[in-house]
C-alpha cells in the first residue's frame, strides 16, 4: 500500500476514534458553562488573588501562594505534590523618578527585574532621548554621563520587548549612567509596566526602569525643541541569594498508561504589582479547573493528566527549566504539553506545534469544540515554560484568546480581577479540559 494511502487510512481511523468523544466533550462543556462548575474558575481566581495578592519570585507571597494552591487542590481531591527548585530573589525597594528641568514633574516608573539600584542619593543627570538602538549608536558620543531615555514605538510585544531586555547594557556600552525605557505597551493611561531585563556579561550594570508612554513622549518633544532635560532617579533595588521554591503538581493518574503524561500548565508567580490575575493567575486556574471538570464527571483517561503550576516564569522560565532537567529522561512519555500564559479571555483557537501526523489528530480534536465555536487549529503552540519540551519534539499547545487588551494591563498595577470575565474563563476551562482529556484517552500517543 503506498505511504500516502496508509497515512490517510490512519487519518480516517483516528478521525473516527476522536469523533467517538462528541458526547463526553459536550458533557465537559455543559458542566463548565451551565452546570455546577459555572463561574468556578473565576471564583477560585478571585479568592486566590484577593487572599494572596501579587507574588514575585523569591517573595513570602509566592511561598504563601504555593501553599494555598497545594491545600486547595488537595481539598479538591487531586493527587498533589511539590517539587523543589531554586529561584531568583530580586527586591524592588523604594524607587522614584523626578524631572527637575525644564520643569519639575513626578515621573511614574517601575524598576525592571534584576536591575541594580542607584546610590542612596540617586542619580541626577541630563537626559539623552533616542527612538531606537540605531539612534543610540549614531549619537554614542552624546551619551556619556547621561540618563538615556528610550522612546521606541510599540510594534509588537515580541519585537519591542528587546528595549526592556537589553536597553540598559546597550546604553552602558556608550557610557550612560542609567536608562529609562518607554513601557512595552500599545496603550497607556500613565501606567508604567515592569518586567525582567538581562545584563550582558562584561558590560557595566546600570540602573534601569520603565516610564510611561506619556512621559517618554513628553521628554522626546522637549528634546526636539532643544530643551535641556534633567532627571533624578532613585532606586533601592537589589538581588539577594537564590530562594527555595516549588513547582506545584496535581494529577489524575491514567488507568492504562499512568507513566504517559498530558501536561497542562500556567505559572503561579507574578510581578510585584497588581494582583497577577491575568498574568498568569487565569492560566493557573483554568489548568486546575480542567482537572476538576474531568474529576467531577468521574472520567479517568488512559494516560495521566498532570497540572504543573510553574514558579519563577517571569525570570525566564526558571522553575520550568529545572522541571525539564529533572524529567527529560522520560521525554518519550510526554504526550502533549500545554500552557496558558497569554490571558484567559474569549478563546479563538488552539495553537499547536507538532508533526503533520499529530496535527491531523489535533484537527479532529478541535472539532469537538463546535458547541463553543472554537474549532480552529493554528500553528505555533507557545509558552516559555513548555518550550524546552517542544524543542525536543514533544507536541505543544497553547490558547489563542481575544488578547487585544492583554498588553494594556501586562506587568502593571492594572493586572487585577477587574480584567477577568467569568464566562470567558469558563470557555477557556472547557476547551482546556476537552483537549487534555481526549488526547490523554486516545488509544495511541500523538505521533512525533
In whole angstroms, how far apart are CA 278 and each of 173, 255, 274, 343, 409?
36, 34, 10, 6, 8
Question: Cell triple for residue 431?
Answer: 476547551
Determine the Cα–Cα distance for residues 296 and 288; give it in Å rounded to an integer: 12
Catalytic residue among 95, 289, 313, 339: 313
Q: Tell me the CA distances in angstroms from 368 to 191, 288, 378, one per residue in order.
A: 41, 21, 16
Residues 6+ apart with CB under 8 A from 306: 249, 250, 251, 261, 262, 263, 264
**Which residue is listed with cell 486566590?**
48
Query: Does 121 qualify as catalytic in the annotation?
Result: no
How many residues are listed for the chain in this entry?
Answer: 448
**Cβ contacts of residue 75 below 8 Å, gap of 6+?**
none
Helix or strand run (H / E) with residue 90:
strand 79-91
Instruction: Compute the radius of gyration of the chain from its Cα atoms.
Output: 24
264-291 burial, b for 16+ CB within 10 Å, e for fewer?
A: bbbbbbbbbbbbbbbbbbbbbbbbbbbb
Where in 158-288 does DSSP place strands (E)?
A: 178-182, 208-211, 230-235, 238-252, 257-267
Q: Of 436, 434, 428, which Cα lies nearest the Cα of 25?
A: 434
∠ CA(109), CA(110), CA(115), 5° rounding? Answer: 125
Per the CB < 8 A criterion, the answer to whether 92 and 192 are in contact is: no
In the sheet where 109-111 sits, what is the strand order? Answer: 105-107, 95-101, 230-235, 123-130, 147-150, 178-182, 208-211, 109-111
Please, what is the angle between helix 60-75 and helix 282-296, to 10°? 10
Q: Residue 123 CB: number of other CB atoms within 10 A? A: 17
Strand stretches in 92-213, DSSP E: 95-101, 105-107, 109-111, 123-130, 147-150, 178-182, 208-211
Catalytic residues: 313
Amino acid at each position: 500500500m503506498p505511504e500516502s494511502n496508509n497515512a490517510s487510512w490512519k487519518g480516517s481511523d483516528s478521525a473516527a476514534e476522536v469523533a467517538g468523544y462528541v458526547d463526553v466533550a459536550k458533557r465537559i462543556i455543559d458542566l463548565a458553562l451551565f452546570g455546577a462548575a459555572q463561574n468556578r474558575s473565576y471564583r477560585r481566581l478571585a479568592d486566590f488573588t484577593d487572599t494572596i495578592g501579587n507574588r514575585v519570585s523569591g517573595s513570602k507571597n509566592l511561598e504563601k501562594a504555593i501553599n494555598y494552591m497545594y491545600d486547595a487542590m488537595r481539598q479538591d481531591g487531586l493527587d498533589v505534590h511539590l517539587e523543589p527548585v531554586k529561584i531568583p530573589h530580586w527586591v524592588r525597594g523604594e524607587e522614584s523618578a523626578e524631572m527637575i528641568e525644564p520643569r519639575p514633574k513626578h515621573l511614574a516608573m517601575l524598576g525592571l527585574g534584576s536591575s541594580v539600584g542607584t546610590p542612596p542619593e540617586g542619580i541626577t543627570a541630563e537626559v539623552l532621548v533616542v527612538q531606537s538602538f540605531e539612534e543610540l549608536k549614531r549619537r554614542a558620543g552624546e551619551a556619556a554621563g547621561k540618563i538615556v531615555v528610550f522612546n521606541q514605538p510599540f510594534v509588537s510585544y515580541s519585537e519591542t520587548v528587546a528595549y526592556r531586555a537589553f536597553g540598559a547594557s546597550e546604553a552602558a556600552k556608550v557610557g550612560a549612567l542609567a536608562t529609562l525605557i518607554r513601557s512595552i505597551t500599545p496603550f497607556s493611561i500613565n501606567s508604567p509596566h515592569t518586567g525582567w531585563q538581562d545584563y550582558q556579561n562584561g558590560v557595566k550594570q546600570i540602573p534601569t526602569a520603565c516610564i510611561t508612554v506619556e512621559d517618554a513622549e513628553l521628554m522626546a518633544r522637549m528634546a526636539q525643541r532643544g530643551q535641556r532635560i534633567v532627571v533624578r532617579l532613585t532606586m533601592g533595588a537589589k538581588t539577594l541569594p537564590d530562594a527555595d521554591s516549588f513547582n506545584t503538581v496535581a494529577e489524575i493518574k491514567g488507568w492504562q498508561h499512568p507513566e504517559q503524561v498530558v501536561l497542562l500548565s500556567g505559572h503561579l508567580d507574578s510581578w510585584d504589582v497588581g494582583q497577577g490575575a491575568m498574568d498568569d493567575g487565569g492560566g493557573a486556574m483554568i489548568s486546575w479547573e480542567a482537572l476538576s471538570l474531568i474529576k467531577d464527571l468521574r472520567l479517568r483517561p488512559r494516560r495521566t493528566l498532570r497540572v504543573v503550576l510553574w514558579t519563577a516564569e517571569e525570570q525566564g522560565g526558571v522553575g520550568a527549566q529545572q522541571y525539564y532537567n529533572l524529567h527529560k529522561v522520560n521525554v518519550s512519555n510526554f504526550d502533549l504539553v500545554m500552557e496558558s500564559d497569554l490571558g484567559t479571555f474569549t478563546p479563538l483557537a488552539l495553537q499547536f506545534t507538532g508533526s503533520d501526523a499529530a496535527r491531523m489528530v489535533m484537527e479532529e480534536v478541535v472539532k469537538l469544540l463546535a458547541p463553543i465555536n472554537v474549532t480552529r487549529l493554528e500553528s505555533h503552540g507557545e509558552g516559555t515554560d513548555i518550550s524546552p519540551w517542544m524543542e525536543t519534539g514533544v507536541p505543544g499547545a497553547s490558547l489563542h484568546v481575544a488578547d487585544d487588551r492583554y498588553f494594556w494591563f501586562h506587568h502593571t498595577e492594572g493586572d487585577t480581577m477587574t480584567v477577568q470575565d467569568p464566562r470567558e474563563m469558563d470557555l477557556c476551562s472547557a476547551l482546556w479540559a476537552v483537549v487534555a482529556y481526549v488526547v490523554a484517552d486516545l488509544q495511541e500517543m500523538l505521533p512525533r
